Amino acid sequence: MNASQVLAQFQATGVQTCFHDRHIDPQIYAGLDGTNWRLADYEARGGYKALRKILTEGLTPDQVIAEVKSSGLRGRGGAGFPTGLKWSFMPRQFPGQKYLVCNSDEGEPGTCKDRDILQFNPHIVIEGMAIAAYAMGISVGYNYIHGEIFQTYDRFEEALEEARAAGYLGDKIMGSGYNFQLHAAHGFGAYICGEETALLESLEGKKGQPRFKPPFPASFGLYGKPTTINNTETFAAVPWIINNGGQAYLECGKPNNGGTKIYSVSGDVELPGNYEVPMGTPFSKLLELAGGVRKGRTLKAVIPGGSSAPVLPADIMMSCTMDYDSIAKAGSMLGSGAVIVMDDSRSMVESLKRLSYFYMHESCGQCTPCREGTGWLWRLVDRIDRGVGKASDMDLLNSVADNIQGRTICALGDAAAMPVRAMIKHFRHEFEAKIPGYVPKAPAKA
């Protein structure tokens, strides 16, 4: 079955998907065709071998954590925090209940990889979580799934049932002394619920608003108990690491950027979709996999890591490789790996207006700079776009962004401010051109 057949099949069932079958060295998407997501299929692909290896060969939790550390796996939820290191923060001797949480909230515009992992390969996440829980001595876990994706939630529930029936979850897993209960939780469809502490609040049945940190979830998490939270794709990477070794995973990518990464390529490309490629793949190669810029047009700009990542002009982007370090060096972030491609027909003012509307809408309202500032950002960009902006609006935009960034409980404020600064830095002339009578300021005298 090819990608378009897969797409047609899922569209027929009402499930929107962007899975694509053009991958390089896939680890998570290997061999998937949209129909082979069940337990028997996963086992036929070597599924649950890693969990079995740990339990039957008696790998200690420390050995599992060491393997993950050596893999160079960095959290795929956005911040790229080293996963093995995060796991080592969990207080293993804590006497009470500890929790493991999978973040499948995925609300960042442009990102659609986690729902496809859950849709096409749900057992890989279950196995990854079971291994993580073993490594950290955790007996209860939750997968928090975005509230607007119903079929994916149902599918994950079905996969959980299969795993429980086969003895991969529950008490005395595979005849060992290891117990792990895993549940699915359906979220509320709010972007802020992807922020890890807002997610925990929401999971507890409260309004999804971020908590002050510290304390961090490793000491005060779900119901006030030690909790580790990782992204769906992060967990999905774990079975491969255990089966093949941390070093092999690291070598798939480049130093400090191990393994493969799934990029959700959207916007002005011929074949938008999710592509799994090794870390360090040139951006130009990824663009080629996605069919190139639509209708043969010219590449203008790219947002390389989801809507909160600063935009990069085409020439900078074409010299980047797709990994945390290269994109950071170019002045942006790999973030969640959502690559939004813009061709030369796109107005940067309009694009920023769209982004700013999103952040205004999704601000939870808890912190004044974010609640008020995101509204101001949108209003300013909107009036510039409508041709009624004032000459002072350029400075005002920067000043509003300054007053949000770094002044809020969570990073949603930064996520709203950073695109503004980058758009002005790289495409200031487009904004100025829309302001009636705009006269650029004379450069300051030395």
Ligand X SMILES: Cc1cc2nc3c(=O)[nH]c(=O)nc-3n(C[C@H](O)[C@H](O)[C@H](O)COP(=O)(O)O)c2cc1C
Nearer to ligand X, 193 or 314 (CB): 193
Site for ligand X in 71-100 (CB under 6 A): 75-79, 81, 86
DSSP assignment string, 248-292: HHHHHSBTTB-SEEEEEEEESBSS-EEEEEETTEEHHHHHHHTTS
Structure-block tokens of residue 415:
């996520």
Q: Is 334 in the site for ligand X (CB under 6 A)?
A: no
DSSP for 99-163 reads EEEEEE---STT--HHHHHHHH-HHHHHHHHHHHHHHHT--EEEEEE-TT-HHHHHHHHHHHHHH
**Cα separations in angstroms, 315 against 105, 283, 296, 300:** 33, 11, 17, 8
CB of 237 to ligand X, least distance (A): 9
Residue 18 CA to residue 113 CA, distance in Å, equals 8
Closest separation in Å from C-beta 392 to ligand X: 30
- Residue 274 φ/ψ, nearest 5 degrees: -95, 130
Shortest gap between Cβ of 423 and ligand X (angstroms)?
Answer: 19
Residues 225-254 that bind ligand X (CB under 6 A): 229-231, 234
106 near ligand X, rule: CB under 6 A: yes
CA angle 143, 148, 152 (to 5 degrees): 55
- Options 106-114, 315-323, 339-347, 418-426: segment touching ligand X (CB under 6 A): 106-114
Amino acid at the residue 51:
L
Write down the least CB distance from residue 213 to ligand X, Å.
10
Yes or no: say if 202 and 208 are a contact pair by the CB < 8 Å rule: yes
Nearer to ligand X, 108 or 276 (CB): 108
113 vs 20: CA distance, rounded Å: 11
The residue (of 163 and 415) whose beta carbon lies closer to ligand X is 415
Please identify, using beta-carbon distances, which residue of 257 and 268 lies nearer to ligand X.
257
Of 411, 425, 427, nearest to 308 by C-alpha is: 411
Site string for ligand X, 34-73 (x = CB under 6 A): ----------------------------------------
Cβ proximity to ligand X: between 237 and 316 the closer is 237
185 touches ligand X by CB under 6 A: no
Q: For residues 261-290, which are near ligand X according to CB under 6 A?
A: none
| Interface segment toward ligand X; rule CB under 6 A; list 8-16, 28-36, 122-130, 193-201 | 193-201
- For 419, the enclosing helix (H) or strand (E) is helix 412-433
Q: Could you give the angle at the alpha carbon of 139 between the alpha carbons of 133 and 142, nearest 5°?
A: 75
Look up tokens 């290269």; give the residue. 326
DSSP category for residue 438: -
CB of 107 vs ligand X, minimal distance in Å: 5
Q: Does 107 bind ligand X (CB under 6 A)?
A: yes
Residue 3 Cβ vs ligand X, minimum distance, rounded to whole Å:
25
Instruction: Using the minimum distance from each CB to ligand X, give the nearer residue, 103 or 266.
Output: 103
Residues 398-417 that bind ligand X (CB under 6 A): 410-412, 415
Shortest CB 100 distance to ligand X, Å: 12
Q: How far is the CB of 91 from ligand X (least distance, A)?
A: 18
- The answer to whether residues 169 and 82 touch, using CB atoms and an 8 Å cutoff, is no
Stretch that binds ligand X, among 169-177, 186-194, 341-349, 385-393 (CB under 6 A): 186-194
How many residues contact ligand X, by CB under 6 A?
25
Output the CA–CA distances (angstroms, integers) from residue 11 to 6, 18, 189, 214, in the order listed: 9, 10, 21, 44
Which listed residue (17, 103, 332, 374) binds ligand X by CB under 6 A?
103
Considering the complex, what minimum distance in angstroms separates the CB of residue 439 from ligand X?
A: 38
For ligand X, the closer of residues 105 and 393 by Cβ is: 105
- In the complex, least distance from residue 315 CB atom to ligand X, rounded to whole angstroms: 30
- Do 107 and 338 touch, CB atoms closer than 8 A? no
Peptide bond into 214 cis (omega under 30): yes
- Candidates 105, 127, 385, 430; binder of ligand X (CB under 6 A) is 105
Question: DSSP letter at 191?
Answer: G
Please report how close the Cβ of residue 12 comes to ligand X at its closest, in angstroms: 27
Structure-token pair, residue 216: 């961090």
Look up residue 305 and give its DSSP letter: T
Output the smallest distance, CB 256 to ligand X, in A.
Answer: 15
Beta bridge partners of 231: 103
Which of 51, 55, 192, 203 lies at the binding interface for ligand X (CB under 6 A)?
Answer: 192
Cβ-based nearer residue to ligand X, 79 or 271 = 79
d(CA 210, CA 197): 5
Residue ranges binding ligand X (CB under 6 A): 75-79, 81, 86, 103, 105-108, 191-192, 194-196, 229-231, 234, 410-412, 415
